[in-house]
């Protein structure tokens, strides 16, 4: 069973903040995480939660066809990949005044908090929301230990 590592999370946050203020992002104060469609780590936005028996991931994927989503699992790492197509319309002789909706290929890797049973994963996508239900492995579930009184 893998545990959440505070120091690993703090180190990742430290690296991201350093990157923001050290100008590693094409000379801009704010880098790809703040630019729509460019921050691979930020898209799709997800919720990750669990209960006693399952781990749940919900991912926002508006405009992505469910059959164009590639999802795979290796150990306790879930990877979502796919492509959000560009909006259909005439691009020639067009002036964009605001373009906030990112398009193109994406990939997001999510480290799960516990081991899961890969053969029993269920996923459904409706109205741009992908819901993945993953049963926890028996080793990841809490065990009740009885205490005898002497």
Domain enclosing residue 80, as ranges: 40-86+102-139
Residues 82 and 23 in one domain: no
pLDDT digits (tens, 9 = 90+) for 46-89: 999 999 999 999 999 998 999 999 999 998 899 999 998 877 66
3, exposed or middle or buried, with CB in 10 Å at 0-12, 13-18, 19+? exposed
68 and 120 belong to one structural domain: yes
| Distance (Å, whole) CA 74 – CA 127 | 27
Q: Does residue 125 lie in a domain region?
A: yes
Q: Is residue 77 part of a domain?
A: yes
Number of structural domains, the chain?
A: 2
Q: What pTM did the predictor assign? A: 0.66
User: Is the domain of 22 the same as that of 45?
Assistant: no
């Amino acid at each position: 069973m893998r545990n959440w590592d505070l120091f690993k999370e703090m180190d990742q946050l430290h690296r991201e903040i350093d990157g923001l203020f050290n100008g590693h992002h094409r000379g801009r104060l704010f880098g790809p995480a703040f630019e729509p469609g460019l921050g691979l780590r930020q898209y799709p936005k997800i919720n990750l939660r669990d209960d006693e028996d399952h781990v749940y991931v919900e991912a926002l994927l508006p405009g992505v066809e469910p059959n164009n989503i590639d999802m795979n699992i290796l150990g306790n790492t879930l990877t979502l990949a796919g492509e959000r197509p560009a909006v259909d319309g005439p691009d020639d002789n067009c002036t964009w005044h605001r373009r906030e909706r990112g398009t193109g290929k994406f990939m997001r890797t999510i480290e799960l908090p516990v081991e899961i049973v890969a053969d029993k994963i269920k996923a459904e996508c409706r109205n741009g929301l992908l819901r993945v239900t993953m049963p926890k492995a028996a080793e990841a579930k809490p065990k009740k230990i009885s205490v005898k009184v002497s």
